[in-house]
Structure 1
Amino acid sequence: MVVSRADLADFTYFLAIARHRSFRRAGLELGVSASALSHSLKALEGRLGVRLFNRTNRSVTLTAAGDELLGAISQPFDAIGAAVEALNRFRSSPTGRVRLNVVADAGPLLLAPVLPEFTDLYPDIEVDIVASNRMVDVVEDGFDAGIRYGGTVPEDMIAQRLSADVRWVVAASPAYLARFGTPLVPEDLRDHRCLGIRLGDDRIYRWEFMGRAGEYALPVPSRILCDETRVMLDLALRGAGLMYGIKSLCAPYLRSGALQLVLEPFATSGPGFHIYYPSRRQLPTALRLLIDLIRARQPAGL
C-alpha cells in the first residue's frame, strides 16, 4: 500500500487520539474540532480496512490493530517533529507554540510580568495557558509543561525552579477583625470564620503553621470553600473570613491597609514555583526561551 499525503495527515490525528484516549483533548492539542478528528479517523480506517479504536460514550481504546500501528509510527513521527523543531536555530525569529498547565497563582505572579516582553521578543511564538489548581497529567492532556509549587511536582518529570520560596500567611480585613477579634495563636481559628481551600485532588487543605516543635497542619472551620486564590482574596476583602495564601499575592492589599496579617509568628515558607516537563521529550525551543526569560527577569525572585 502506498502512503498518501492524506494518510500522513490522518496519522498525526491518530497519534494525538491515541495519546489522549479522547477526541476532545486531542482536538484541543491540534486546534481542530472533535468531529473533524472523528471524520479523519473514519477515513483513515476506511483506507486501511481495519478499525483502529473502540469507541463508546465513555471511552476510546486502541484495538489490536491500532496498538500495532501506534508502535510502528510513533518513533518516526517523533523524529520528524524533533527535526522540524531543530530548524528553529536557523531562523531569525523562532516559531512554535507553548501549551502550559499552571497553578492559578503562577499566572499573576510569574507569567503576567514576563509575557508582554516575551511576545515582543518572539512574535511568532504562541503561548496557550490553562490556569487551574486541579492536577492533570500534562503528557496525557497535551501540555508541553506544567508549573506548580515545588512540593507538588510529579516525581517522574524534569523540574526547574522558577521562583524563590513562598511565604504562607493568614490575613483578614480590618472590618472582620473589628467584628470577630484577632486570633493570637493558630488554635484560636477554631472560633473564627475561615475561608477553606479545596485542593486540586478535592481534599480540603489543612492550614500549616510553624510551632515550637516544627511545622504542623491544622483543620479550620470553613463555611465557605474556594479552589482559587483570587476568589478567596475578594471574599476576605469583603470581610467574609480569614484567608490563607501567599504573602506576595496579598502584598498590594497589605500596603493599602485593605488586609491585615495575623498569626505572623507562626507563618511558614514552602517551595516556590517549578516548571516541569517529560524527560523523554526534547525541550521545544519556544518553551526553553520562555524558561530562560522567566529565570532572567525573576518576577517572583529566585
Structure 2
Amino acid sequence: MQISKNDLGDFSYFIAIARHRSFRKASLEIGVTPSALSHAMTALETRRDVRLLNRTTRSVTLTAAGEDLLAAIEGPMQAIGEASQSLDRLRNNPAGRIRINVLGDAVPLLLVPVIPTFIERYPEIELDISVDNRLLDITAKGYDAGIRYGGTVPEDMVARSLSDDIPWVAAAAPDYLDRFGRPSHPADLKHHRCIAIRLGNDQIYKWEFERAGEEVAIETPRPMIVDESSAGIGLARAGAGITYGAEPVLREYVRRGELELVLEDWASMGEGFHAYYTSRRQVPTALRLLIDLIRELKPLRAG
C-alpha cells in the first residue's frame, strides 16, 4: 500500500502524541487544536484499519500496533525534519516561526538590543516571545527554547551560553540608606528592610555574597517578596528597602542616582544567560540564527 500525503502529515501528529502521551501537549507543540489531532488520528486509523491509540479521558497510550508504527517511522521522520532544516539553512531568506519562553531580565538585557537587528536581517522569521519567570516545561508547553540564567536551566536540556558570567549586587535608594544606614557586611542586612526574591520554583532566594574567598548566603528579613526584577527595583527606588539582582539590570538606575550599590565589594558572580532546548529535536534554523546573533552582538558586554 502506498503512503499518501495524508499519512505523512498524520504520522508527524502521531509521533508528537506518542512523545507526550497527551493530545493537549502535542497540540501545543504542533500548533493545532486537540480536536484536530483527534480527528486526524481517527482518520489515520480508519484508512489503515488498525487501532494505534488507546484513549481515555485521563490518558493516551499506544497499542501494540502503535508501538510498532512509532518504532518504524520515528527515525525516518526525524531525518526528514533534519533535511528540511538543512534546506532552510541554504535559503537566502530564512523563514519560519519560533516560540521562546524568556526570563524577565532577558528582555531588556538580551532581546531589546538584539531584536531590531534580527528582524532587519531576517524579516521572514516570526518571533513569538513569552515572558515568564516561572520554571516551565518548555517542551510540554510547545516552546522551541527558553532563556534563563545558567544555574536555573533544567539538567535534561541542551544549553548554549549567551553571555559572560554576571555580578549580583544589592542596591537601595540613597534616601533609604541615609535613614537606615549603609551595611558594611552582609550580616548587617538582618537589620534592614530587604525585598526578598521568589524564584520560579517558589523558593525564596538566599542572597549570595563573596569577597576574598569568603562566601555568604543570607536569608534576608522580608517584609516584601517579589517574583520579578522590575517590581523589586520599583520598590527600592521608592525607598521601601534594599533589593538584590543582576548588576546589568540595576546599572541604569545606579547611573541616574536613583539607586546606590551597597556591599559592592561583596558582589557575587553568577552564571550568565543561556538558551536551552530539548536534545530530542532538531534545532530550528530561526532559533539557531537568534542564538548566533546574540553571541555575535554580545549586548551585555556592550552595556
Fold shared, TM-score > 0.5 on shorter chain = yes
Please say if residues 29 and 140 of structure 2, whose CA atoms lie closer than 8 Å, have aligned partners that are also in contact.
no
Distance 1:115 1:100 in 2: 13
Match of residue 55 from structure 1: 56
**Distance in 1 (alpha carbons) for counterparts of 2:267 and 2:77:** 50
After TM superposition, the structure 1 = structure 2 runs for residues 1-302 of structure 1, keeping only pairs within 5 Å, are 2-47=2-47, 48-57=49-58, 59-211=59-211, 213-279=213-279, 281-301=281-301
Q: Judging changes above 3 Å, is the alpha-carbon distance between structure 1 residues 19 and 108 closer, same or farther for their aligned structure 2 residues?
A: farther
In structure 2, relative to structure 1, the CA distance for the partners of 1:194 and 1:18 (3 Å cut) is: farther
C-alpha distance 224-61 of structure 1, shift in aligned 2 (>3 A): farther
CA deviation profile, 1:80-130 (whole Å, cap 9, x unmatched): 111111112442211222232332211221112111111111111122223
Structure 2 length normalisation: TM-score?
0.88
Q: State the distance in 1 between where 2:21 and 2:240 align.
A: 43
SS of residue paired to 2:42: helix
Identity of aligned residues (%): 56
CA distance in 1, matches of 2:60, 2:240: 45
Q: CA deviation at 1:219?
A: 0.8
Divergent runs of 4+, >6 A: none
Q: CA deviation at 1:63?
A: 4.1
Say whether the 8 Å CA contact 1:196–1:225 is kept in structure 2: yes
Q: Measured at CA, do residues 296 and 267 of structure 1 come closer, stay the same or move farther in structure 2, by a change above 3 Å? A: same
Aligned pair in 2 of structure 1 residues 73, 181: CA closer, same or farther (>3 Å)? same
Structure 1 residues 52 and 194: CA distance shift in structure 2, 3 A = same
Deviation at 1:157, TM superposition (A): 4.0
Residue 52 of structure 1 contacts residue 63 of structure 1 at CA under 8 Å; is this kept in 2?
yes
- 1:52 alignment partner AA: L
| Structure 2 unaligned spans of 5+ | none
Query: In structure 1, what is the Cα distance between the partners aligned to 2:194 and 2:142?
Result: 36
Please report how far the alpha carbon of residue 206 of structure 1 lies from its aligned counterpart in structure 2 after TM superposition: 0.7
Question: 2:136 and 2:64 mapped to 1: Cα distance?
Answer: 27
Alignment check: 8 A CA contact 2:100 2:146 kept = yes
**Structure 1: unaligned runs, 5 residues or longer:** none
Structure 1 contact 102–129 (Cα < 8 Å) conserved: yes
Q: Does structure 1 retain, via aligned residues, the 8 Å contact 2:147–2:275?
A: yes
Q: TM-score, normalised by structure 1?
A: 0.88
Asked if the contact 1:20–1:141 (Cα under 8 Å) also holds between the matched residues in 2, the reply is no
CA distance in 2, matches of 1:187, 1:145: 39
Alignment CA distance shift 1:280-1:33 (3 Å): closer
> Is the contact made by 1:93 and 1:122 (CA closer than 8 Å) also made in structure 2?
yes
Amino acid at match of 2:238: R
Where 1:204 maps in the other structure, the secondary structure is coil
Using the TM superposition, name which of 247-256 and 22-31 deviates more: 22-31
Residues 19/232 of structure 1: CA separation in 2 closer, same or farther (3 Å cut): farther
Asked if structure 2 preserves the Cα contact closer than 8 Å seen for 1:53 and 1:66, the reply is no
Shift of 1:150: 2.4
**CA pair 74-265 structure 1, distance change in 2 beyond 3 A:** same
Indicate conservation of the 8 Å contact 2:20/2:140, yes or no: yes
Structure 1's 267 and 114: CA in aligned 2 closer, same or farther, altered over 3 A? same
RMSD (Å) for aligned C-alpha atoms: 2.5
